[in-house]
Each structure stands twice: as structure tokens, then as C-alpha cells.
A and B are shown apart, each in its own frame.
Chain A
Amino acid sequence: MGEEEELREKGIKALKMLLFEGSTPGLKGWELKRRLGKDYLAALEVAKVEADKLGLRIVKVEDEEDKSPEKARYVLQPKEPLREAELSKWLRIEEAAALAIIDVELNLRGGMVQRKTIERILTQKLPSWRVKQIFDKLKRLNYIEEDGDILRKGWRMIVEIDEPGLLKDVISKAKET
């Protein structure tokens, strides 16, 4: 098998590995390296081309402390945002709305906010037991992180949400209504 052909096969294998996720979405660089070999980064480049044909993109999420590719997480995302009806496959309406509100509030407050502040906002429209459930779910899915009483953005919030777009659309939408 030629070198080029071998790399292409590794690229397809990388794409399959990213598609069939385990308990946490995506794969760390070291996991890909262990399965694909030292040239896993080249294989990822091939995988990006193949993903593009499917309307997907491979995104690298760097570790906060260690910026090496081996510590980064690689995930698959759609190239286009979701259609409204598709969102319900990920989150319920109130969960999606809460995620948007938390994201906007975190941006307004420089990335950190007290949990009770968010609770006060969300309980204006949702019962407190539901708010607690939503917090738990968003934490479990890595959309938010909680450190004592302080909430921060989880890595999935940063990767999956186009934040300037969201804020712009929140303001524009409010203008329409």
C-alpha cells in the first residue's frame, strides 16, 4: 500500500473514530495518536477533507493549560448551524433557552457569574425545580462549569455557540417583537 493510500485510510479511520463517540464527545489527540500512529495530525488533515464532503468540520479544542495537540480534543461539528426543528434533538426548548441566557449573561459579566444570579433570571420564566434540573444537565454535558457558587463557561459552550452571533440575534429579535 502506498504512503498516500495509507494516509487516506487513516484519515477515514480518524473520521469514524470521531463519529462513534464514547462517553465524552470527540477524542483527545493522544487517543488518536495511539490508534493512528505518529502521523495522526496528517491523518486528521485528510479526515477534515472527508468531513467537509459530508457537511461537517473537525474542530480542535485546546486544553486550557497544555496547548500541545496531544492534549487538545478533536470534535466533529456541522458546517451550518442547526435548523430550529433539529435543536429539539439536542435540547428541550427551555434547556436551549436557559443555555442561551447563561451564555449571554456570562459574556456580559466577563465569563463568571454567581449561580444565584442566573437562578434569579431563569426562575422568572421557569419553576425552580426545573432550573435545578437544567443546571445539572448543562453541567453534565460540559456546557457549564461550577466552582463553588461561581458558574463559568464549559468547553462545549465555547465550541458550539457562535457567541457574537447569538448576542446580535438576541438584540435584533427583541427589536422585532
Chain B
Amino acid sequence: MRRDKLIRERIIDLPRELERSGADPFLVDIKDLLEKLKRKKRNVELLKLDSKALNSVSKIVEMQEKWVVDALKGLRVDPDLVREKIKKLSLKEISSVLSKNFYPIIGLKRISVERLRDGLVYWEIVRPWGSYEEPAPIAYKDLATETLSLTPESVKEKANKLYVELTPLLEKGPIDYRSYLSRFPEKERLEKAFLLGYLATIGKIALKKEPLTKTILILKPGKGEPFSIAIEVSEIGRGRGA
């Protein structure tokens, strides 16, 4: 009880002592003072002292604020003291301090229709990057052409039939595209290749080109960004890959 009384009396005197000595008010640990005031049971006399002590604590906080503002105005802050204090803080703590004193300019970035148009034109002409860069398409005149007798209805019907055939095979694992097509005679092979392309386009199967071996695999559809690939089928079945 006597000790608690003494602590409170000491806190009450602190602002006067700081004023008299001109000491840095930040030498006082406010958090510690408040902790000390929290302790012990209270009677009327202690409650009265608590109120006076809290008043003193608020005076010290005011002195701390005044000290900083005065020091900043007159640039009388001891630079080494501030630098030492900054050194003690982590980057996160410093950034947190900034956020309490940061009033960023508000504004929404916008894009004009003309700029969007420019972007689209640019996208059309820009060359593909890295692995997305495919060889230039073969000139049409060099291509062997073959007419397939297919109608929209027959494509769906035949594609479904092919899908039913493939499903049990795909359950066992990926199928080599070229080996699979090489089983069929030339005309039928072209039709199957077309149907496989159709099934891949509608997402029933996936085709994957291994970048190193250039092997093409038929797979069950999976995750990943889809993109188009060109596959030459005329060489399949002649003992040579495309």
C-alpha cells in the first residue's frame, strides 16, 4: 500500500521534474507507468492519487508531442538520436508508422477507347514470345489437300463414336497421337485427325506437344491455358514423324 502510494506520488511529480531539468520527455516510459497504475487493489486514497497520476501521464504525453514539434520546427532534433531510434525499428514497423501519417492522393487510372484500340492493333502485330512462338505456317500451295465428306451432323456423330472408343484407352494413360493415327488407312486417318482436333476444340480430350521430343499425346482434358497447335498428318504412317 505504502509502495503504491509512493509510486503514484513519484508519477505525479514527473512532469514538474522534466520541466525543471529540461530532460527529453521520451526518457519516460509511458507504457510502463500505465502498467504500474493498473496494479493492486484500490481504496479511496489510492483512487484519488490514480486520477492525479493519470493527469500527470497525459501531461508527459503532451510534453513529448510538444518536444517533437518544437524540435522539428527548429530542426533541433539530435539526428543521431533519431537515427538510433530508426535503427531499432524493423521495415514493417517503419512502414506502419508511415501509414498513420500518410494521406495518399486519390485518383482512378483510366484508359481511353483510342488507347484500347491501339492496344488491340499492337496485339495483332506483336510477335509471340518464347515457347508460344510457333514456326510460320506452311504456304497453302505446298499443302496436299483432301476433301472429306463430312456434314455438321456427321462430324458430331463420328466424333462421339471416336470419343467412346478413346475413353477406355485414355483411362489407361496418354495415347501417342501419331501411333494411334498410323493404324488407319490414309483417307480415314485424315478424318480421324480432323475428329481428334474437333474433340480437343470442344474440350472432350486434350492434345499435348512435348517440347523436347516433339511427341504429341492424346490426354484426358486437364487444367492449363489452352492454345492452338498445328500438326502435320501427311507423314504419319510413312515411318516418319512430322
* A positions within 8 Å CB-CB of B: 18-21, 25-26, 56, 75-78, 81-84, 86-87, 90-91, 93-94, 96-97, 99-101, 104, 107-110, 121, 124-126, 156, 159-177
Which 6 A-B pairs have CB atoms at the shortest separation, nearest pair first? Answer: A21-B107, A174-B85, A96-B95, A97-B94, A168-B68, A97-B91
The residue on B at minimum CB distance from A168 is B68
Flag whether B105 is at the interface (Cβ < 8 A).
yes
A81 proximity list for chain B (CB < 8 A) = 99-103
* A166 lies within 8 A of B79 (CB): no
User: A90 CA to B30 CA in the complex, in Å?
Assistant: 33
Q: A170-B89, A174-B89, A177-B88 are in contact. Are A76 and B106 (CB under 8 A)?
A: yes
* Interchain CB contact (< 8 A) of A77 among B82, B84, B88, B105: B105
**Chain B interface residues toward A at CB < 8 A:** 26, 29-31, 64-65, 68-69, 72, 75, 77, 79, 82-89, 91-110
Query: Which one, B68, B77, B96, B104, contacts A84 given CB within 8 A?
Result: B96
Cβ-defined contact, A171 with B82, below 8 A: yes
Known: A97-B98, A100-B98, A173-B97. Is A163-B72 also a contact (CB below 8 A)? yes
Asked whether B89 lies within 8 Å of A108 as measured between CB atoms, the reply is no
Q: With A25-B105, A125-B91 as known contacts, state yes or no: A175 contacts B79, CB within 8 Å.
A: no
Name the B residues within 8 Å of A19 (CB-CB).
106-108
Which residue of chain A has the shortest Cβ distance to B91 in the bound complex? A97
For A167, the chain B residues whose CB sits under 8 A away are 68, 72, 77, 82
Instruction: Take A87-B98, A125-B91, A175-B29 as given contacts and tell me if A76 and B86 are in contact as well, using a CB distance cutoff of 8 Å.
Output: no
Are A97 and B95 touching (Cβ within 8 A)? Answer: yes
B91 near A170 (CB under 8 angstroms)? Answer: no
Q: Select from chain B the residue with minimum beta-carbon distance to A61.
A: B105
Residue ID in chain B nearest A77 by CB atoms? B103
CB-defined contacts of A77 to chain B, threshold 8 Å: 103-106
Tell whether, in the assembled complex, residue B104 and residue A160 are in contact, meaning their CB atoms are under 8 Å apart: yes
> In the complex, how many angstroms separate the beta carbon of B195 from the nearest chain A beta carbon?
50
- Chain A residues near B97: list those with CB within 8 A: 100, 166, 169-170, 173
Question: In the complex, which residues of chain A have a beta carbon less than 8 angstroms from the beta carbon of B79?
Answer: 108-109
The answer to whether A175 and B26 touch across the interface, beta carbons within 8 angstroms, is yes
List, in ascending order, chain A residues with CB within 8 A of B95's CB: 87, 91, 93-94, 96-97, 100
Contacts of B109 in A (CB 8 A): 21
A residues in contact with B30, CB < 8 Å: 175
Instruction: Give 16 new A-B contacts, CB below 8 A, not counting A21-B108, A101-B94, A172-B26.
Output: A25-B105, A75-B106, A76-B106, A82-B102, A84-B100, A121-B83, A160-B102, A160-B103, A162-B103, A163-B72, A165-B100, A171-B82, A173-B85, A173-B89, A174-B89, A175-B29
- With a 10 A CB-CB cut-off, give which of A76, A84, A170 has the most chain B CB atoms: A170
> Among B91, B92, B98, B108, which residue has its beta carbon within 8 angstroms of that of A20?
B108
A139 CB to nearest chain B CB (Å): 16
